[in-house]
Amino acid sequence: MKKILLLFTFFVVFALSAQEDVFSYNYRNVPAEEIDAFVENEVVYWSGIHAVLVKKKQTTGWAMLKRIGGRASDPNIYFYMGFGSYENLDNLNKNWQVAEAEYRNSMDPEKLTLIDKQLNIPKRIVGEAIFNRLTSVNLDGGMDDWNYLVHNYKNAENKLNWVQLQDKYFKPFFEKQIKAKNTKQKYWNAAVVLNPTGDAYDWNAYTADAYTNLSDVFNPWNKIITWPIISDEDKDDFSGNNFYKTVIWEKILWLDSSGNLKSRY
C-alpha cells in the first residue's frame, strides 16, 4: 500500500511539474524622486510594447506593482510578465524586437524623439526570477478584480513536493471559501522558482493571495473557518506553513486581457 501511495504521489508531482504557466518578476529599487518619471515611461512607451505582445498571444499579461511597507533596502517595484508557455519564453527576444518596431512605427516621429530622451533614466534593476505557476484558484478572473497581492515566500526542502501539497490541501480549501464568499480573497496560486536556484537564495517557491482593499489583507475572513489538517505522512514535505517572509504589493499599472492599459497611479 505504501508503494502505491508513493507511486501515486510521484505521478501527481510529475503532472504538476509538467504544467506550463511560466512568468517572471523583474525587481527594481526606484528612488522616490524618480517614481513619477519611471511610471510615465511605462505608460507612454514600455506598456505599449507589452500590449502588442499580449494582443498577439505572445505573452499572457503584464503589470507594475509597488511594495507596501517593508525595508527600504528591499525592491520597491516589480514588473510581472506572463509567458504562459516555454515556447513564448524561448521566443521572447525575437518577439520583443518585432513588437517594439511595430509600436514605434505607430507613434508620431516628433513625439518619439522626445520619448527616447525621456527613456534615458536608470533602470534600477536589482534582480529577476522566473516561475512556473503549478496550481491556482480563480486565476481566470484576470487582474481587474484585485488591487493588492500578498506574496508568501517559502524556502522548501523540496519545492515541487511542497507545491503539490499546496495543491492537495489549499486549492480545494480556497476554492470552497472563495466560492462561498467566506473570504474577501479574490484568488490564490502557488508557483516554483525556475531561476535562479541554489542554496545562496532565500526562497524557491511561493504562494500569492489577491485582495481588493488593503484592509482585506489584514481582515480577510467573513466568518470563522476551519483550516485543512495536514496528514502525518505529508507533514515532513509540508514542513509547516512558515514562510521566509511575506510582502504586500499594490498593483498600479496593468494590461487587461485585451491588452488595454489600466492604471491606479
Residue 13 maps to a domain: no
Q: How far is it, in rounded angstroms, from Cα 102 to Cα 98?
A: 6
To 10 degrees, what angle do helices 92-105 and 47-55 make?
110
Cell of 101: 518596431
- Domain of 121? 19-263
Q: What is the pLDDT of residue 147?
A: 98
Q: What is the pLDDT of residue 1?
A: 52
Q: What is the pLDDT of residue 92?
A: 98
- Domain of 134, CATH number, reads 3.30.70.100
**Phi, psi dihedrals of residue 155, rounded to the nearest 5°:** -105, 90
Q: What is the pLDDT of residue 238?
A: 83
> For residue range 109-141, what is the model confidence (pLDDT) as tens digits?
999 999 999 999 999 999 999 999 999 999 887
Residue 133 maps to a domain: yes
pTM of the predicted model, to two decimals?
0.91
Segments of the chain scoring below 70 in pLDDT: 1-17, 241
Residue 8 maps to a domain: no
Residue 250 maps to a domain: yes
Bridging pattern class, strands 61-68 and 125-137: unpaired
> For residue range 152-181, what is the model confidence (pLDDT) as tens digits?
999 999 999 999 999 999 999 999 999 999
Q: How far is it, in rounded angstroms, from Cα 156 to Cα 129?
A: 16
Residue 14 maps to a domain: no
Residue 6 maps to a domain: no
Residue 186 maps to a domain: yes
- Alpha-helix runs per DSSP H in 91-170: 92-105, 109-118, 159-165
Structurally, how many domains does the chain consist of? Answer: 1
